[in-house]
Structure 1
Amino acid sequence: MESSWLETRWARPLYLVIVFFLTLGLLQVVKLYMRRQQLLRDLRAFSGPPPHWLTGNQKLFGSGHLEKLDEVVEKYPCAFPAWIGPFEVFFYIYDPDYAKTLLSRTDPKSKYFHKFLVPLLEEGLLSLNGSKWAQHRRLVTPAFNLNILKSHVNVIAQSVNIMLGKWEKTCGTQETVVEVFKDINLMSLDTLMKCTFSQETNCQINSTHNRFIEGLTECLEIILKCMYSFFYHYDIFFKFSPESRRLQKWTNIIHQYTGQVIQEKRKSLKDEKEQGETEKKCQDFLDILLSAQAKNGNGFSDNDLYSEVNTFMIAGVDTIGGTLSWLLYHLAQNPEHQKRCREEIRGILGDGSSITWDQLGEMSYTTMCIKESLRLCPTATAISRELSKPITFPDGRSLPAGMTVVLSIWGLHRNPNVWENPKVFDPLRFSQENYSKRHSHSYLPFSGGLRNCVGQHFAMTELKVAVALILLRFELTPDPTRPLILISKILLKPKNGLHLYLKKIS
């Protein structure tokens, strides 16, 4: 009688291995099933858009188009669960009371979001948590004190005037369509390099710096795709994917750029010291970080230094550049507000040949327009937290620890239960009279709580200087043949650029 194959010498170990892996696989399936059932129980008090059985609500977010989110916000007024595949949920909130409850706590950043951001930003303010974050925040804050901000006004004006010179050369005396987004981002990079690193790069003219802007755009696009694809939440899929290789390629380019900035700064400080040039009116951002490193020794390492420079460059260029772009777009779409801003600015600055810190404080209507544009188009559309303990919202509904909560700033700012006619550009929402009626957490363009944006006053200074000088030199009108299409790539971006008619004011 022939023996069974199981009785052969080699078959039994193979059989045991197969049974072992099948058992492991079955246990994993059971574990995932139990996780899904637990999530369904945790979220039973909250309704939301029906998810696909495999991809969840990926179609709602994966494309980056935000119009679908507007529809969901209108249908589900406070919050909704967004399924990322069958076994993971991001819980979206956009109600002021919900936002206040979340931001009053000290929950860490979500690991799901920041797992993809860390290769780009490294361990800086945007990704750190706990005592390390508090230490970095304390060291970085002095870079944005009032005296330093005052010293930036003329430097910002110089950078803006370079951009305006390019536009005047392009337009001449004729009304001309210009794609302004790229020029504004280069101007923002130029300003950042001068104000925070004291470096003259000529980046608005020298096209080699476009590589940094291109790299940042590519990285954010890859990260968005990975965040909302549940397969990439598993390292075994992400590490061997084309997206991982692309992300590594572009982050290397960006890090080389910021590394060069630090090396050049160290060299210039060394040269100044050797030449006995010790006096300096104001320290810049990098001076303060290098000084902190010298004082703290191992408490602020080279990795910490590089991380903060990366974070500030990446967060500083696209956010301010994007915000200025959307502001110009809204003023082009609303000529009555553009005219009123220009009249206010002329009354304060005259021909704009000089501009001072005190004059910026007089631009009340222009400031209202900036704030309203930030409401309609917040450059950072969301922030996320991972609950370290259960949370109960003011309406009595609760979530357990471990849940990833996403505060949608876009949804909050366009929630019709919070703002009347939310899609209408109305700067008077931010008048002194209306300000007192507003919920403290209904408007969060720079986030809120302890982790609010450390550079928000720098951003507002640059925006005021830039819009003032632009409106004194140009009249803006929209190009009806190329409407602005906004998409979220972590930060808000124009899908096909931002085209405006520019007409030189004689």
Structure 2
Amino acid sequence: METTVQTQPTPRVKGWPLVGNTFQFVRDPLGFLRQLQQQYSRVVGLRIANRNLTVTLTPDDAKYILQENNKNYHKSEAYRVLQLFLGNGLLTSEGEFWRRQRRLAQPAFHRQRLALLVDTMNEETRELVGRWQTHDPHLPVDISGEMMKLALAIVTRSLFSSNVKQHIDTLSGPINQIIEFAYEALYDFVRIPLKYPTPRNRRYLRAVDKIEAVIYEMINQRRAEQGSVRHDDLLEMLMEVQDEETGERMTDQQLRDEVTTIFMAGHETTANALSWALYLLAKHPDVVQKLRHEFDRVLGPDGQPTAENLRELTYTMQVIHETMRLYPPAWVFSRKPLTDDVLPGGYALPAGNGVLVSPYLLHRDPKFWEAPDEFNPDNFLPEKVKARPTYAYLPFGAGPRLCIGNNFALMEMQVALVHLVRAFDFRTTRRDVIPPEPGITLRPRGGLRLRLRNAE
């Protein structure tokens, strides 16, 4: 005998005719979501443009959507903006194709394979330190721009080895154009198809062509070199893996999509997290001193980070996690149920409607975080982590679609902080409060500029 799940009505936010809550959301997405968190305990319904959305507010519901019943939830239409450029890579693909690609790509991101890339992270950050040591201490540094360059240099060398150093300057402009296009398109509720040659579309397509030309050049070069030249980089790892069931390897198109996904998602998110970390450290010199004590204890006065000793930099990792708690690069995930579903507790989620899970809200929920808007790396002491629900902290997503590059990003941030915090003291400029800008990722609004001086 079948049982019927009892449902209860989802509370809804009053909106305007036709447009619903669109203006409230677009005007201040983070502020609007925080208001909902304060007013509702579990879920709340919205209407954005012509779409009904349910915002979930608890770790348990995030776990249900992202893990327990994840096969019923695909990424929503919002990800089409990313798919325009990323193609069918791991971030945007779905279903059996995604599962196959994840199986193929996973070995390239095992910790022991990533250990080979720590030297690259050290070299690129030391080069940045050398440049900054000649900078006029009276002039602020464009931290946002510099972290983008650093993360781009690291991910480019990690993907393609050192022989594409000459391409970095060529790529940075097109990459910025694509990022800006995606940020603008995210809030364009009436989108002009790419086939129409508007100035913005033409700039975007030119940028895509430039980046694709470099990626395909590298793939073709590797195809020609296979068996004769060895490269310990991510591209080679991706080219070598085979499907255990079929023996198939990735096609050039699949390699292009995965490399592009790593290339784009693997540098802007890390760059933003590092920018926020330096901003927070500039405001908390006591945390800087604790970091330096840990560096001296674990590495010695002049020791370099390695894959082995990074594990011992536990306070450094607490600082990174606390930064991503306050400013999670992926501040919201959107999903849509493939079939009608009901959350545990009885709230209906109709097929095709949008569902939002917001790490930004979960990371600032006072039920799980004391003084949730304050920077406190002790939030990630082992005993405090153990006492919280796992899904109260989701900087890289969760469940089967946990970001495949999470260990790469964490290693990169640890290495960068060791060199930068050892070498410099950071100070805020007159604009001390930098608000976050919620777009594809959560970046400092208007960029971030800090003053720096050589550490004594």
Query: Normalised by the size of structure 1, how large is the TM-score?
Result: 0.82
- Classify 1:155/1:300 alpha carbon distance in 2 versus 1 (closer, same or farther; 3 Å): closer
CA contact (8 A) 2:337 2:352 kept: yes
Report the equivalent of 2:204. 250
The one of 64, 78, 83 aligned to 2:47: 83
Local SS of the residue matching 2:210: helix
Q: Which amino acid aligns with 2:183?
A: E
Q: Which amino acid aligns with 1:392?
A: V
Query: Residues 201-240 of structure 1: CA distance to partner in whole angstroms, max 9, x if unpaired?
Result: 4479x643331332232122122113xx2x44xxxxx438
Local SS of the residue matching 1:169: coil
- Classify 1:386/1:192 alpha carbon distance in 2 versus 1 (closer, same or farther; 3 Å): same
1:435 aligns with 2:385: yes
CA contact (8 A) 1:331 1:338 kept: yes
Q: Which amino acid aligns with 2:175?
A: I
Report the equivalent of 1:486. 436
CA contact (8 A) 2:111 2:407 kept: no
How far apart, CA to CA, are the structure 1 residues paired with 2:109 and 2:38? Answer: 38
Alpha-carbon offset, residue 268 of structure 1: 5.0
Local SS of the residue matching 1:503: strand
Query: Normalised by the size of structure 2, how large is the TM-score?
Result: 0.90
How far apart, CA to CA, are the structure 1 residues paired with 2:446 and 2:356? Answer: 27
How far apart, CA to CA, are the structure 2 residues paired with 1:316 and 1:385? Answer: 22
- Segments of 5+ residues of structure 1 without an aligned counterpart are 1-41, 233-237
Report the equivalent of 2:172. 210
The one of 58, 61, 73 aligned to 2:37: 73
**Which moved further from structure 2: 252-261 or 368-377?**
252-261
Local SS of the residue matching 2:140: strand
Identity of aligned residues (%): 26
- Classify 1:353/1:381 alpha carbon distance in 2 versus 1 (closer, same or farther; 3 Å): same
The one of 161, 170, 185 aligned to 1:198: 161
Alpha-carbon offset, residue 398 of structure 1: 2.3
- Classify 1:142/1:118 alpha carbon distance in 2 versus 1 (closer, same or farther; 3 Å): same
CA contact (8 A) 1:197 1:286 kept: yes
Local SS of the residue matching 2:443: strand
How far apart, CA to CA, are the structure 1 residues paired with 2:27 and 2:122? Answer: 37
CA contact (8 A) 1:179 1:500 kept: yes
1:426 aligns with 2:389: no
- Classify 1:131/1:470 alpha carbon distance in 2 versus 1 (closer, same or farther; 3 Å): same
How far apart, CA to CA, are the structure 2 residues paired with 1:266 and 1:292? Answer: 17
Report the equivalent of 2:75. 110
The one of 218, 233, 241 aligned to 1:264: 218
**Which moved further from structure 2: 452-461 or 260-269?**
260-269
Alpha-carbon offset, residue 420 of structure 1: 2.4
- Segments of 5+ residues of structure 2 without an aligned counterpart are 1-5
CA contact (8 A) 1:222 1:247 kept: no
Query: Residues 380-428 of structure 1: CA distance to partner in whole angstroms, max 9, x if unpaired?
Result: 1111221122332233322222221111111111122332221011111
Q: CA RMSD in A?
A: 2.7
Query: Residues 294-342 of structure 1: CA distance to partner in whole angstroms, max 9, x if unpaired?
Result: 9979874332221111111111010111111111111112221121112
**1:323-338 correspondence runs (5 A):** 323-338=273-288
How far apart, CA to CA, are the structure 2 residues paired with 1:182 and 1:240? Answer: 28
Local SS of the residue matching 1:170: coil
Report the equivalent of 2:131. 166
Report the equivalent of 1:143. 108
- Classify 1:252/1:77 alpha carbon distance in 2 versus 1 (closer, same or farther; 3 Å): farther
Report the equivalent of 1:182. 145
**1:31-430 correspondence runs (5 A):** 45-63=9-27, 65-85=29-49, 87-103=50-66, 104-105=68-69, 106-171=71-136, 174=137, 176-202=139-165, 207-226=169-188, 229=189, 231-232=190-191, 238-239=192-193, 246-247=200-201, 249-268=203-222, 270-271=224-225, 273=227, 276-277=228-229, 279=230, 282=232, 284-292=233-241, 300-430=250-380
The one of 390, 393, 418 aligned to 1:468: 418
Query: Residues 1-52 of structure 1: CA distance to partner in whole angstroms, max 9, x if unpaired?
Result: xxxxxxxxxxxxxxxxxxxxxxxxxxxxxxxxxxxxxxxxx99722243212
Rg larger in structure: 1
How many residue pairs were aligned?
Answer: 448
Q: Which runs of 4+ in 1 moved over 4 A?
A: 240-245, 292-299
CA contact (8 A) 2:298 2:309 kept: yes
- Classify 1:433/1:251 alpha carbon distance in 2 versus 1 (closer, same or farther; 3 Å): farther
CA contact (8 A) 1:320 1:463 kept: yes
Report the equivalent of 2:3. none
CA contact (8 A) 2:63 2:391 kept: yes
